[in-house]
Amino acid sequence: MTIRIVGAGLAGLIAAHAWPGAEVFERSARPEQGHKALLRFRAEQVSALTGIDFRRVTVRKALWSGGEFVQPNIAHANAYSAKVIGRVLNDRSIWHLDPVERWVAPEDFYARLIRNVGDRVQWGKDVSLPELTAQGHTVVSTIPLSHSLRMCGEEFGDDLTFQSASITVRRYRVIGCDVFQTIYFPQPGTPLYRASITGDLLIAESIGNEPDDGEQQVIEDAFGLHRRLIPIETARQRFGKIAPIPDATRRALLLQLTERHGIYSLGRFATWRNILLDDLVHDIAVIKRLIEGDRYATKLVAAG
């Protein structure tokens, strides 16, 4: 039984380090780093798995509203939740503003992952999940859950919708800077919801696709960095924010893909839940146990 990984985004490339012999299929014709938003890690597991050194830092956080720094309250939390996912849910990140320890990947993290995986990635391959499993492969899929279900002919009902919101990510270089900071922006008057500095790279994340001409001024005021920002690039991420579906339903759908089709879902979009890249290491370990369990069961059946 061979492992095949579908998707060469960050999740797929990290998975390729856990299965060193697995081929990776990617529909894009060439490497395209889809993730441009903030990328920090809470622990060192991904660094250990990939062999890529991360920098250990202390991140300081704050909340900016109405032109000043404020302490989080219920109104701020609700406004922030409504802005980023279109729903008011509990325990959003802006409640937690204490300094935290994080690990920062190098800016060329995606390129290093590709170099590590090498020619195992087959670019421009829009593969069918059922065809791969029919060929006897075990599939680890990182493509969105709804796409996997449709591809496999699984029904999930008209009343279940996989809602997501696109985001716009703008990157700036900060002159003469080496700090690690995040500011949240809950106010509804701007699509900007978070801006973070990692060393001398500032990453601003906004809901939607429309440019906000006043964004740079807001960021300069909040960080106190007037005339220090040099714009680098603007990118749009289609699945920037995802709205959760009932957890019991989500788990049942994932189980269908595994039990009926031999497909193991990995990553934020494939499992349709808001997780960190740190969580991939744990989820990979779970998938490995499940795969080995299936192989053991197959041997028992074959032995009679």
Residues 43 and 180 in one domain: no
Q: Is the pLDDT of residue 244 over 90?
A: no
Q: What is the pLDDT of residues 113-156, one digit of tens each?
A: 999 998 999 999 999 999 999 899 999 999 999 999 999 998 88
Query: What confidence tier does 217 reach under pLDDT thresholds 50, 70, 90?
Result: very high
3-state helix, strand, coil in the chain (%, to 5): 35, 30, 35
Task: Report the mean per-residue pLDDT for the chain.
Answer: 90
Residues 195 and 264 in one domain: no
Query: What confidence tier does 188 reach under pLDDT thresholds 50, 70, 90?
Result: confident
Residues 137 and 34 in one domain: yes
* 151 Rama class: left (phi>0) / alpha (psi -120 to 50) / beta: alpha
DSSP 303: H
Question: What does the pLDDT read at residue 35?
Answer: 76
Counting the structural domains of the chain, the total is 2
DSSP 30: S
Q: Is the pLDDT of residue 25 over 50?
A: yes
Residues 171 and 130 in one domain: no
Q: What is the pLDDT of residues 52-75, one digit of tens each?
A: 999 999 999 999 999 999 999 999
Give the least confident one: 141-145, 200-204, 212-216, 227-231: 212-216
Residues 174 and 194 in one domain: yes
Residues 121 and 86 in one domain: no
Q: What is the pLDDT of residues 82-109, one digit of tens each?
A: 888 777 877 678 899 999 999 999 999 9
Residues 120 and 229 in one domain: no
Q: Is the pLDDT of residue 178 over 90?
A: yes
Q: Is the pLDDT of residue 36 over 50?
A: yes
137-141 and 263-265: which strand pairing? parallel
d(CA 250, CA 234): 33
Question: What does the pLDDT read at residue 212?
Answer: 76
DSSP 120: G
Structure tokens, 152: 């496999």
Residues 195 and 95 in one domain: yes
Question: What does the pLDDT read at residue 32?
Answer: 81
Residues 149 and 172 in one domain: no
Q: Is the pLDDT of residue 290 over 50?
A: yes
Residues 291 and 231 in one domain: no
- Full residue range of the structural domain in which residue 188 is found: 58-104+164-241
The angle subtended at Cα 171 by Cα 168 and Cα 175, nearest 5°, is 155
What is the pTM for the complete model shown? 0.90
